[in-house]
Structure 1
Amino acid sequence: MNTRRLSGLLLAAASLCSVPAGAVHAQRPAAAGVPGTLRVGQSVSGTLSEGTPSMTERGRFRVYSFQGVPGRRYVVTMQATSFDPYVSLVRTVSGVSDYMASDDDSGGGTNARLRFQVPAAGSYMIVAQSLTLDGLGTFTLRLDSVARRPLAIGALRVGQTLQAQLTDSDPEFDNLPGHYDVYRVRGQAGQRVRLRMEMAENVPNLMIGRLENGQFAADEDATQGEQINAVIPDSGAFYVQAGAMGGELGAYTVSVMERATPRPSRVQPIRRGETVEGELSDDDAENEADERLYDAFGYVGRAGERVRIELSSEEFDTYIALGQMVNGEFREIAANDDAEDEEGTDSVLETELPSDGRYVIRVTSFTGGATGAYRLRVSAP
């Protein structure tokens, strides 16, 4: 996206948004290039035409300002029949347009619906836009305040697999489309568990947290994903959020299983020009800091030597870490998650070794708990 042009367009719109609320009627469409205002409980109608401003990415847009209140939950809906709507929440920070959240299809069909909260009181902008540059026609935009639904908490035992359903009546994420359930899990301090959620063709998401004022709050730096490996820090209850981002609904299974103590890491030798096929499994060593399973390979290198390490897998998102063992601890020197084209889930790491000695290559996954077959190769760049 042409960020400079985008910032200029939205900043110009923001300066015009300082018109007193009473001077602009929310129900009346704004003229081309002139932002309107939007109040909670009101709708606006507008038109995207050939003369409407456009961005480098996506299509033409109109801007509407509103006064946000922290703690309130909002939903903005954009509907159109002649083009695919796209709606965004934007604020201006030190002269730069900050895109806080956006949505394309959560309003049903191609309509957009964005749920959000604002971090502080002040003026914010809703950008009503066509997903593509050729999108033209009329649209309606509505802003509402949404009451937070009461949180029902289910019970889930270690060793149990539970079948459940995400529905429209379940709680919704604050700033993303999607619903979730919350479960209370009881365990013992130091107990190692694996949480897993499966949901047909959809991509579910688990997160560990706590209750604050009767609502779920994720732990700071909490791991999330379809599967989470965790060590229970204190005896008693902890809470798990089981959801699906993107608005998917339907049946799912969620389970909490106890994990065995991992085996010690065994370093396998690998030489320059060699290819090794292996597999990450539940029996492999585990990094307790992020619950990622790993295999370790030893490589003897020279100072100034350049090496290329390639890791590929069709079963998990790969991650390579190169380091050395110092006083029994792995000290990372370089790491990589994506190949040169930054597409797919394979990893390629090219680096120059700083000194003579023995190095350790850790074959692991981008997210905790992932398993599957992989292929590792060490060669010259």
Structure 2
Amino acid sequence: MRTLSVATVLAVALAAAAPLQAQPDPAFPVLAVGQRASGQLSTADPALYERGPFKVYRFQAQAGRRYVAMLQSSDFDAYLTVARTVGGITDHMLMDDDGAGETNARVRFTAPEAGTYLLIAQSLLPEGTGAFTVGIDTMPAKRLAIADLRVGQTVTGALEETDREYGAGPGGGGFFDLYRVRGTPGQRLRLRMQIGEYFPTLNAGTMQGDEFVPDAFGHGQGMLLLTLPASGETLVQAGAEGEITGEYTLAVADRGPAAAPRPVRLSRGEPVDGRLEAGDAEKEEDGRWTDHYTITGRAGERIRVTMAAQAFDAYLSIGRMVDGAFQELAFNDDDGEQGTNSALEVELPEAGEYVIIATSFAAGGEGEYRIQASAP
């Protein structure tokens, strides 16, 4: 197999692929959008980046249009690159080696600007040769629809490649659906989304023209906390970042009035069993459920607080209430060991009552735990 150095191959490619506004070298075959072409990779073709031989095709793209490119072969493991030439430099925008299943490659992308783009049909492995087909086609986005979602309802939907996308860049930022959530003004809601083993993204916002503009963002773990505005409704964007598609569930529930903390006295050396669950006091900024404990100490006294949990990642915080607001003194989310437990040690700056907050590291954590305070 004849292999050229990277520098030599790039020099050849740059000489052949002129800038976007210039006439590309006719040595690169033209692919019309919607067309498929057959080709053959052999040891006489150049190789690139420690992979196998390649051939280059060119096509014209329109700014903002979504495209899907395919490279299929039963003779070698296909590797497909979408590229363009900018200022005399070849920009390798997106690559794929198995997006079409088995030995076939597939790249979905959005053209950032109009001009001539390149498809590099290549073997993933250095020894790969044989017949292939390569093609390029458009992938129009379906018409934007907004579905209604009632409080107390759980719906099943699906993210698809024809859905709207958020984020910028040739590969897009992910697909999403839109829902209109209606309730009473000032109603406190919790939305949860699940999509297999992936991490969903939930945002709330408004439409500005044909674009969704978020103004409230999710709190991780597929959860979004909302307080409905005076209109009693808002739009929710349910999606996932990256090339994630498939079925999901989306549920919206009434959070009810904010629960007031009910502090429990914590005595040194005496463990207390507790449980984080819906209905507990919440951290307003992210909706984590919290239990509150109080302990009295002396100035300069050192105490150690531990929290053991298996159902969630434990998180401890200690501080004082000043003018009705909690002022944190120390916090910790682990105990120095591998696991979900938490431990913190602190020297009390003055005599008086301190508040210990037991919660989870991330929103949505719930389950049983054991907390204890003692001397270090």
TM-score computed with the length of structure 1 as normaliser: 0.63
Identity of matched residues, %? 35
Corresponding residue number in structure 2 for 1:255 = 251
Deviation of residue 285 (structure 1)? 0.4
Alignment partners' CA distance in 2, 1:380 and 1:258: 42
Aligned pairs for 1:80-159 (under 5 A) are 107-108=100-101, 115=108, 137=128, 146-159=139-152
Aligned partner letter, 1:364 = T
Aligned partner letter, 1:266 = R
CA contact (8 A) 1:227 1:370 kept: no
Aligned partner letter, 1:20 = A
Specify the SS of the correspondent of 1:165.
strand
Alignment partners' CA distance in 2, 1:43 and 1:240: 40
Aligned partner letter, 1:361 = I
Residue in structure 1 matching 2:355, options 345, 357, 360 = 360
Alignment partners' CA distance in 1, 2:95 and 2:235: 28
Cα pair distance change 1:377/1:262, threshold 3 Å: same
More deviation in 187-196 or 316-325? 316-325
Cα pair distance change 1:220/1:356, threshold 3 Å: same
Larger Rg: 2
TM-score computed with the length of structure 2 as normaliser: 0.64
Specify the SS of the correspondent of 2:257.
coil
Corresponding residue number in structure 2 for 1:20 = 18
Specify the SS of the correspondent of 1:238.
strand
Cα pair distance change 1:352/1:166, threshold 3 Å: same
Deviation of residue 152 (structure 1)? 1.2
Residue in structure 2 matching 1:171, options 157, 163, 177 = 163
CA contact (8 A) 2:202 2:218 kept: no
Deviation of residue 27 (structure 1)? 6.0
Aligned partner letter, 2:349 = S
Alignment partners' CA distance in 1, 2:178 and 2:123: 36
Residue in structure 1 matching 2:227, options 226, 231, 246 = 231
Corresponding residue number in structure 2 for 1:96 = none
Cα pair distance change 1:303/1:157, threshold 3 Å: same
CA contact (8 A) 1:106 1:247 kept: no
Cα pair distance change 1:326/1:71, threshold 3 Å: farther
Alignment partners' CA distance in 2, 1:217 and 1:103: 31
Specify the SS of the correspondent of 1:211.
strand
Aligned partner letter, 1:297 = Y
CA contact (8 A) 1:312 1:318 kept: yes
CA contact (8 A) 1:43 1:140 kept: yes
Corresponding residue number in structure 2 for 1:92 = none
More deviation in 102-111 or 145-154? 102-111
Deviation of residue 308 (structure 1)? 6.1
Corresponding residue number in structure 2 for 1:33 = none
Deviation of residue 186 (structure 1)? 1.8
CA contact (8 A) 1:318 1:347 kept: yes
Once the two structures are superposed, residues 64-95 of structure 1 have per-residue CA deviations (whole angstroms, 9 ceiling, x without a partner) of: 99999975556566767755969899xxxxxx
CA contact (8 A) 1:187 1:237 kept: yes
User: Aligned pairs, how many?
Assistant: 347
Cα pair distance change 1:128/1:23, threshold 3 Å: closer
Aligned partner letter, 1:372 = G
Cα pair distance change 1:104/1:20, threshold 3 Å: closer
Alignment partners' CA distance in 2, 1:160 and 1:290: 22
CA contact (8 A) 1:196 1:254 kept: yes
- Give unpaired runs (5+ residues) of structure 2: 1-5, 84-91
- Give unpaired runs (5+ residues) of structure 1: 1-8, 29-37, 90-98
